[in-house]
Chain A
Amino acid sequence: MWREGENPPNPPLRKGGFRRQFRNLPPLQKGDQGGIFVLLILPGYRGKNLTTMPIKTEPMTVNIGPQHPSTHGVFRLRVTFDGEEILEVEPIFGYLHRGTEKLAEERNYTQIVTLTDRLDYVSSMINNQAYCLAVEGLLGVEVPQRAKYLRTLTAELQRVASHLMGIGFFLQDLGTLGTPLMYAFRSRERILDLFEMLCGARITVSYMRPGGVFFDAPDDFWPALDQFLKDFESEYKEIEQLILENEIVMVRTRGVSLLPLDVAINASVSGPVLRASGSDWDWRKMDPYDAYDRMEFDIPTATGGDNYDRFWVRIQEIHQSIRMVKQCIQQIEPGPIRADVPLILRPPGGAEAYGRVEASKGELAFYLVSDGGISPYRCKVRSPSLINLTVTEHLLVGWKLADMIVTLGSLDINMGEVDR
Chain B
Amino acid sequence: MNCVLGPDNILYDTLLFRVIYDGVGNVLPCWLSYAVAGMAMMMILVNGVLLGAGLFSWVERRLIGRFHNRIGPNRWGPMGSLQPLADLVKLLVKEDLTPRGADRIVFAIVPVAMLAPVVLMMAVVPFAKDTALANLNVGVLYILAVTSITSIAIFMAGWSSDNRYAMFGASRGVAVLISYEVPVVMSLLGVVLVAGSMSLNDIVSAQTVPFLLVQPLAFFVFFAGTSAELNRTPFDIAEAESEIIAGYHIEYSGVKFALIQAAEFGAVLTSSAVMVTLFLGGWSGPFSSYLGWAWFLMKLGVLAFIFSWIRATFPRLRIDQLLAFAWKFLLPLSIINLFATALEVFFLRDGAGNLDTTDLWIMAGINFGVAITCLLVFGTMIKEKVRPAGPVTGATLSTGEAD
Contact = CB atoms under 8 A, between A and B. Distances in A.
Contacts of A299: 397-400
A69 B247 CA distance: 13
Contact of A312 (B70, B164, B393): B393
Nearest to A62: B164
A44 interface: no
B167 interface: yes
B395 A300 contact: yes
Contacts of B102: 17
B387 A255 contact: yes
Given A183-B69, A252-B317, A17 B388 contact: no
Q: Is the interface of B mostly helix, strand, loop or mixed?
A: loop
Given A174-B316, A179-B313, A400-B319, A254 B233 contact: no
Given A13-B162, A15-B101, A405 B390 contact: no
Given A172-B242, A255-B391, A298-B399, A178 B68 contact: yes
Contacts of B350: none
B387 A250 contact: yes
B168 A405 contact: no
B392 A304 contact: yes
A125 interface: no
A301 B242 contact: no
B233 A176 contact: yes
Interface residues on B, range: 35 or more
Contact of A298 (B64, B165, B244, B398): B398
A252 B315 contact: yes
A403 B383 CA distance: 19
A68 B246 CA distance: 11
Contacts, number: 169
A262 interface: no
A248 interface: yes
Contact of A68 (B70, B245, B321, B389): B245
B339 interface: no
B217 to A, nearest CB: 20
A69 B320 CA distance: 23
Contacts of B244: 401
B388 A254 contact: yes
Contact of A255 (B390, B394, B399): B390
21 contacts: A16-B101, A17-B103, A17-B160, A84-B168, A174-B316, A175-B236, A175-B242, A175-B243, A178-B68, A179-B313, A246-B314, A248-B315, A252-B316, A254-B390, A255-B387, A282-B400, A302-B395, A303-B395, A306-B393, A309-B395, A400-B318
Given A17-B101, A177-B312, A306-B390, 18 more contacts: A62-B168, A68-B245, A70-B243, A175-B243, A175-B316, A179-B67, A179-B312, A248-B316, A254-B390, A256-B388, A256-B390, A300-B396, A303-B396, A304-B391, A304-B394, A308-B393, A313-B395, A316-B397
